[in-house]
């Protein structure tokens, strides 16, 4: 996304949690935790875990080679491990990543990133609900002409309109909070997702890692992606609700309707008198964009056998933009509610 476009439809805070540096940081945290937990359950020696932790803490990647490895292998982990092993004493190299597969590291790292993103997203929903409560307290009893099928219908009150915006947002917030226990879980299965590569330590190792990373413990989910797709669906529902709010506000701000005005709306290069509903319109665009991405993410459920490179890559292309789009939508909705002046 270009910097100009991201100023309109992006979210720097969410993007910073999902960029390459953040992903690498999360993957290194998983590798370090894998080593520590492996030593805890007796899978590797304690001094190997210490050596791995020291190398991870001091690690500075060769980004060009990581990019080359990504292009060659389809995942970045093999090249990342090669760089880490070169820095490890030879007698500790075998202990690094022992029993694990690239997907264990990448998926678990993603859960760490998603968890941080939800920490930012959920309070923004609360901020929007708080603003709607204030507006309802001030203007809830004020008359408002309802419209059905784009035609004036019957008189209602602003309270009904504001409640129709707030009620689904409350549901989305509760749903995201409930989904944490289903989505934010450890991935540890080994090469074929059955933990047979951990010498009988797999379940204990998963429990120890989950505790250290503050993630839920779960069976391997290498090719079972319903939780990921479910999260994307909830994000699309959330931005869809915000798009509905944006559409309503853009229509209510029309000169011919004049049920509200917008302070600090967008300007025009040719008509100085205009105050364009930029934030409202962008909410509509982002809702439609996320709906499209949700449909694409849904297709990532179809894995061939125990792992699909195609379906997995499809997730990488869709879920991070959905998270950033949701952050941008929430940011814009807060801005928009601060702009509206009910007449």
Residue 272's pLDDT is 52
315 located within any domain: yes
Q: How confident is the model at residue 1 (pLDDT cuts 50, 70, 90)?
A: low
**Among 208, 227, 190, 211, CA closest to 98:** 190
Whether residue 252 is contained in a domain is answered as yes
* 214: CATH: 1.20.200.10
Structural domain contains residue 56:
no
In a domain, 250, yes or no: yes
With respect to residue 47, please indicate whether it lies within any of the assigned structural domains: no
Domain that holds residue 105: 100-342
Question: Does position 267 have pLDDT exceeding 80, yes or no?
Answer: no
Q: What's the mean pLDDT in 90-111?
A: 98
Distance from C-alpha of 206 to C-alpha of 153, rounded to nearest angstrom: 59
Residue-wise pLDDT for 200-254, tens only, equals 999 999 999 999 999 999 999 999 999 999 999 999 999 999 999 999 999 999 9
- pLDDT at site 275: 67
| Number of domains into which the chain is organized | 1
pLDDT (average), residues 5-14 = 94
Q: Is the pLDDT of residue 270 over 50?
A: no
pLDDT at 92 over 60: yes
How many other C-beta atoms can be found within 10 angstroms of the C-beta atom of residue 147?
A: 16
Structural domain includes residue 2: no
Average pLDDT, rounded, for the chain: 95
Higher pLDDT: 264 or 309? It is 309
Give CA angle at 153 (152, 158), nearest 5°.
90
Q: Average pLDDT of 264-283?
A: 70
Q: For residue 218, is it within any domain? A: yes
Q: What are phi and psi of 143, to 5 degrees?
A: -65, 150
Least confident piece of the model among 41-50, 268-277, 315-324:
268-277
User: Does pLDDT of 47 surpass 60?
Assistant: yes
pLDDT at 271 over 70: no
297-334 residue pLDDT tens: 999 999 999 999 999 999 999 999 999 999 999 999 99
pLDDT at 264 over 80: no
Query: Model confidence at 268, in pLDDT bands (50, 70, 90)?
Result: very low
* Residue 45: CB atoms within 10 Å: 14
Q: Is the pLDDT of residue 266 over 80?
A: no
Residue 296 maps to a domain: yes
Distances (CA, A) of 41 to 91, 110, 205, 206, 211: 20, 24, 6, 10, 13
Label each residue of 16-58 as H, E or C.
HHHCHHHHHHHHHHHHHHHHHHHHHHCCCCHHHHHHHHHHHHH
Q: Would you say residue 2 has pLDDT above 80?
A: no
- What is the per-residue pLDDT for 269? 38
């Amino acid at each position: 996304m270009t910097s100009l476009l991201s100023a309109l439809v992006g979210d720097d805070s969410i993007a910073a949690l999902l960029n390459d540096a953040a992903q690498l940081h999360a993957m290194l945290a998983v590798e370090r935790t894998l080593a520590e937990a492996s030593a805890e359950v007796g899978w590797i020696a304690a001094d190997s875990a210490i050596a791995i932790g020291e190398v991870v803490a001091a690690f500075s990647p060769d980004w060009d080679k990581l990019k080359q490895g990504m292009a060659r292998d389809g995942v970045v982990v093999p090249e990342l491990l090669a760089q880490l092993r070169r820095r490890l004493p030879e007698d500790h190299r075998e202990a690094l990543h022992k029993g694990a597969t690239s997907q264990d590291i990448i998926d678990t790292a993603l859960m760490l990133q998603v968890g941080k993103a939800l920490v930012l997203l959920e309070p923004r929903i609360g901020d929007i609900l708080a603003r709607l409560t204030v507006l309802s307290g001030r203007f809830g009893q004020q008359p408002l002409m309802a419209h059905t099928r784009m035609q004036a219908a019957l008189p209602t009150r602003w309270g009904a309109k504001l409640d129709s915006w707030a009620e689904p947002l409350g549901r989305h917030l509760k749903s995201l909070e409930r989904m944490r226990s289903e989505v934010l879980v450890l991935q540890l299965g080994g090469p074929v997702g059955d933990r047979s590569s951990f010498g009988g330590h797999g379940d204990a190792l998963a429990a120890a890692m989950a505790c250290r990373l503050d993630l839920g413990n779960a069976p391997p989910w290498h090719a079972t992606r319903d939780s990921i797709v479910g999260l994307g669906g909830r994000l699309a529902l959330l931005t869809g609700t915000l798009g509905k709010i944006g559409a309503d506000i853009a229509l209510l701000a029309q000169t011919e309707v004049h049920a509200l005005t917008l302070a600090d709306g967008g300007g025009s290069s040719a008509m100085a008198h205009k105050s364009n509903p930029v934030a409202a319109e962008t909410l509509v665009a982002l809702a439609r964009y996320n709906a499209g991405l949700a449909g694409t993410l849904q297709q990532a459920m179809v894995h061939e056998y125990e792992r699909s490179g195609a379906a997995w890559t499809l997730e990488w292309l869709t879920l991070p933009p959905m998270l950033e789009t949701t952050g941008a939508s929430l940011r814009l909705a807060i801005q928009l509610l601060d702009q509206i002046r009910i007449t």
